Amino acid sequence: MHVPDGLLTAPVALASAALSAACVATAAVRSRTRAGARATALRGVMAAFVFAAQMLNFPVAGGTSGHLVGGALAAVLLGPAAAIIVMTAVLVLQCLVFADGGLLALGANVLDMGVIHPVVGYALYRLVAGRTPNGARRIVALAFGSWGATLATAATCAGQLALARVAPPGVLLSAILGSHVVVGAGEAIIGALVLGALQRVRPELLTVDARGDRLPPLALGVFGLSVALALALFVTPFACSWPDGLEQAFRRIGVVPSSARVELAAPLRDYSVPGLSGALSTSAAALLGTLLVFAVCVVLGRSLAPRREREKLTTAR
Amino acid sequence: MRPLVEERPAGRRLVAALLVLLGLGLAPRSLTVVASCTVLGLVVALGLAARIALRRLGSRIALALPFSLGVAGLALFQPDPLASFVVLAARTTASIAVLQLVVLTTPFARIVDALRRARLPRALVDTVSLLHRYLGLVASEMHRMRRARAARTWDDSRRETWRAGAAVIAGSFVRSLARAERVALAMRARGGS
């Protein structure tokens, strides 16, 4: 899934680079709290492990093979911040030493495989695994997280290529997303088998859950917002434009909701920004909407959270 | 006194490559093919000046091309299929050539130096550095484990291949953790924190 140079336009590459830079910087700040020889060595050797694991191909079907991306697995084993650093290091080396993936497209590749894969994978894993996961639940959670992360990564990659007008969005989304439904299943199976093997051989190594590797609110906000912005920028412009169920029902029974009756001056009407057109307009509207919702949530969260919780959040920082 | 080996940081080279790639990306569609051919000519000239065998450069570009051309092939679904494909294929080929030239002419140590000078986070630069140091070791160890596992496994069904592969990756993870502990001890012994 390494995007080479020449396919993405400069604005898409630069927007992706800005989002990934924010996440890598936050992950680096987070890793500063765990500085020292042990943490440095662990990240370096684990990056070598992820790189080597990516080189191990598995037979899929029809003479084709697949390999692990490893972002979700790394996030579950090392924590999301360390996983972002590890995956970014892998992608930087692949680009600058092996010329795998583009230099201008490095930001896009880091965003797709270095940020979205571990963050989405870890979020889905936590969602399914819960607070005290047992063996089987942990394996199912990782499998689901890996599959979902691969799909989110593929959708973002397809959106970036579509926004760069490499091909029509329908063609790109069906080609890339369709094939990654299968690739994601492979990622899920390999991840589950690796986690199962680890649980059998060295269960004490799966300590991320046990030691409560909770992200501070700032890191959580930056990672979550970056993934949301990436999806808003690159995927939402190509969402299905068909009417939803209610609109379809209105059309069938001949009810036309009159916009003349309740005419509010909505600034981003029909998910578009005045003055812009096409996918760019939808992207900009989604970007503004995401930022607005995030700001509202932060303000509401801060004002509604009990004082004790607020103090806890401040000290966690 | 001049040093025996002159240290030339790779930062300028990387920035120059980025600017060329950016220029290619921003070039108007009507000029893309001409711009790409010019960049390709420049890459060949610089390759000759750097005494790189053109065959080596060409084979590395050819190795990276099929995937890019495959994606560019999707442009055939665009309204102006042939022109879109030619523009995309020309730009991709020239961009790949630029990156291959950078990779072939820049030693890894200078890349790390450039990343440090660019003030990238220390955690990332150290991780890239250690990754390069231990990649060969971990990869060869993983391949040895896979070969040993294959020699002990009689069942060559796809299911067993997947199980064996996963066991190799899990085993490699455990060994990598142990190696990380040893590396950390060695770093401390040499004065690391």
Collect all residues of chain A within an 8 Å Cβ-Cβ radius of residue B131.
Answer: 44, 47-48, 51, 89-90, 93
Q: How far apart are CA A286 and CA A282, in angstroms?
A: 6
Q: Which residue has the higher pLDDT, A268 or B17?
A: B17
* pLDDT for the residue numbered B5: 44
Element (H, E) at A56: none
Give DSSP secondary structure letters for chain B. ---SS----SHHHHHHHHHHHHHHHHS-GGGHHHHHHHHHHHHHHHHHHTT--HHHHHHHHHHHHHHHHHHHGGGGGSSSHHHHHHHHHHHHHHHHHHHHHHHHH--HHHHHHHHHHTT--HHHHHHHHHHHHHHHHHHHHHHHHHHHHHHH-----HHHHHHHHHHHHHHHHHHHHHHHHHHHHHHHHTT--
Residue of B76, B91, B128 to mutate, testing the A interface (most A Cβ within 10 Å of its Cβ) = B128
* pLDDT for the residue numbered A212: 46
CB atoms within 10 A of CB A298: 13
Structure tokens, B190: 């040499």
Are residues A4 and B77, on separate chains, in Cβ contact within 8 Å?
A: no
CB atoms within 10 A of CB A210: 9
If pLDDT is split at 50, 70 and 90, which confidence band does B3 have? Answer: very low
Residues 6+ apart with CB under 8 A from B154: none
Cα-Cα end-to-end distance for chain A: 35
Q: Is pLDDT of B44 > 90?
A: yes
- 8 Å CB contact between A120 and A148: yes
Residue in A with minimal Cα distance to B164: A193
Which member of A6, A197, A201 has the closest CB to residue B91? A6
Q: What was the ipTM of the complex prediction?
A: 0.87
**What average pLDDT does range B107-128 have in this prediction?**
90
* Residue B18 near chain A (CB below 8 Å): yes
Which parts of chain A register pLDDT below 70?
33-36, 59-66, 132-133, 207-214, 256-264, 307-317
If pLDDT is split at 50, 70 and 90, which confidence band does B17 have? Answer: very high
* Residue B124 near chain A (CB below 8 Å): yes
Q: Is the pTM of this model over 0.80?
A: yes
- Rg of chain A taking only CA atoms, in angstroms: 21
* pLDDT for the residue numbered A261: 56
Q: Is pLDDT of B7 > 60?
A: no
Please state the φ and ψ torsions of residue A88, each to the nearest 5 degrees. -65, -45
Q: How far apart are CA B188 and CA A56, in angstroms?
A: 33
* pLDDT for the residue numbered A125: 93
* Residue B144 near chain A (CB below 8 Å): no
* Residue B164 near chain A (CB below 8 Å): no
Q: Is pLDDT of B137 > 90?
A: no
* pLDDT for the residue numbered A225: 92
Q: Which residue has the higher pLDDT, B180 or A84?
A: A84
* pLDDT for the residue numbered A211: 44
pLDDT digits (tens, 9 = 90+) for B70-81: 878 888 887 888
Q: How far apart are CA A69 and CA A84, in angstroms?
A: 13
For residue B178, give how far its alpha carbon lies from the nearest alpha carbon of chain A (Å).
9
pLDDT digits (tens, 9 = 90+) for A16-53: 999 999 999 999 988 776 666 777 888 888 899 889 88
Q: How far apart are CA B75 and CA A13, in angstroms?
A: 19
Q: Is pLDDT of B8 > 90?
A: no
Asked which of A269-283, B18-32, B43-57, B156-170 is least confident by mean pLDDT, the reply is B156-170
